[in-house]
Amino acid sequence: MTLLEVDNVVVRFGGVTAVNEASFSAEPGAITGLIGPNGAGKTTCFNVISGLQKPTKGKVRFRGKAITSMPVHRRARKGIGRTFQRLEAFGSLSVRENVRVAYDIHRGFAGIIKPGAADVDALLERVGITAYADERADSIPTGTARLLELARCLACDPHLLLLDEPSSGQDEAESVAFGQLLKDLADEGRGILMVEHDMDLVMSVCDQIHVLDFGSVIASGTPADIRASDRVQRAYLGYSDVDTDAVEAMTAVGSAAGVRLDDTTDTAVIPAVKEGLA
């Protein structure tokens, strides 16, 4: 059964159409990428799926059932977990306490099952932030805070994880380890829907990718399909007659310099990159 189906969703904010008849899906046991330039509507889609934003039109189905009108907390209980692009940890609590709160709410429901400290520490260990367990959440590096959000999300044992730019702030080695963690989570049968600008990560871990541009899905397919799509290149770079190697190289250069691909709109960069490749 398809885990998540977003069906013809429209979101309008006054005169702005943030999501425009978008349809896409995510499967269990797989990593699905949701990519697109800044302002394409990715976070708004996550808000619609998690219940924070009511769509103007369209439907969301989770494990075969319509959830379009279901409140946020019930979606969370049904197994939809998410992290936030703008981090939402409790700053004055420690890293361990942040995860503990999520764990308590989930496992301690109705006071029947009490979470154990070992379970919380196992989650910190799993995402690789044990060294920060006693630090205040507002004092840790951004990349670590994103892992904290992931640990908190995992404390609720979700069927579907919505990860909004989870690897931003991570260096290359951290991003490789993070990719492996995502694959392990998918191997457990969880579905992952990930918004991410790090194309190396997206292309190396995703089974399927959907590309949003101005709120519409302009391409869906495997990483190879997406890489080869003229329409996708046009959306990111402003025009299409670039070769794939140049796009990849730009992504690599951009990642190394901390610049996102969609910030690299200066077409003069492309000949320079091509020259670098030659």
Q: Which residues, at least 6 apart from 251, have a Cβ–Cβ distance to it below 8 Å?
A: 199, 200, 261
The residues in 79-98 that bind Mg ion, with binding defined as CB under 5 A, are: 85
- Quickly count helices (H) and strands (E) in the chain: 11, 10
Helix, strand, or coil (residue 196): coil
Q: Which is nearer to ligand ATP, 17 or 25 (CB)?
A: 17
Residue 19, token pair as written in the block? 């999501």
Pick what 39 binds: Mg ion, ligand ATP, none; C-beta below 5 to 8 Å, kind-dependent: ligand ATP
Q: Is 226 in the site for ligand ATP (CB under 6 A)?
A: no
Q: Is 44 in the site for Mg ion (CB under 5 A)?
A: no
Rounded to the nearest whole angstrom, what is the least distance from the CB of residue 47 to ligand ATP in the complex? 8
Pick what 16 binds: ligand ATP, Mg ion, none; C-beta below 5 to 8 Å, kind-dependent: ligand ATP
Size of residue set near Mg ion by CB under 5 A: 3
Q: Which residues, at least 6 apart from 221, have a Cβ–Cβ distance to it below 8 Å?
A: 208, 209, 229
Q: Is 168 in the site for Mg ion (CB under 5 A)?
A: no
Query: What's the rounded Cα separation, in Å, for the pair 253 and 79?
Result: 38
The residues in 123-152 that bind ligand ATP, with binding defined as CB under 6 A, are: none
Size of residue set near ligand ATP by CB under 6 A: 12
Q: Tell me, rounded to whole angstroms, the distance of Cα 167 from its chain centroid.
A: 9
Query: What's the rounded Cα separation, in Å, for the pair 171 and 189?
Result: 27
Q: How far is CA 167 from CA 16, 111, 174, in A?
A: 28, 35, 8
Q: Is 82 in the site for ligand ATP (CB under 6 A)?
A: no
Query: What's the rounded Cα separation, in Å, for the pair 272 and 63?
Result: 48
| DSSP letter, residue 188 | T
Q: Is 109 in the site for ligand ATP (CB under 6 A)?
A: no
Q: Is 190 in the site for ligand ATP (CB under 6 A)?
A: no
Helix, strand, or coil (residue 168): coil
Out of 25, 85, 216, 220, the only residue in the binding site for ligand ATP (CB under 6 A) is 85
Q: Which is nearer to Mg ion, 19 or 273 (CB)?
A: 19
Q: Which is nearer to ligand ATP, 158 or 215 (CB)?
A: 215
Q: Is 88 in the site for ligand ATP (CB under 6 A)?
A: no
Query: What's the rounded Cα separation, in Å, for the pair 253 and 145?
Result: 25
Out of 6, 40, 247, 250, the only residue in the binding site for ligand ATP (CB under 6 A) is 40
Out of 5, 26, 36, 158, the only residue in the binding site for ligand ATP (CB under 6 A) is 36
Q: Is 44 in the site for ligand ATP (CB under 6 A)?
A: yes
Q: Is 81 in the site for ligand ATP (CB under 6 A)?
A: no
Question: With 0-12 CB in 10 A as exposed, 13-18 as middle and 19+ as buried, what is 7?
Answer: middle
Binding site for Mg ion (CB under 5 A): 42-43, 85
Binding site for ligand ATP (CB under 6 A): 13, 16, 18, 36, 38-44, 85
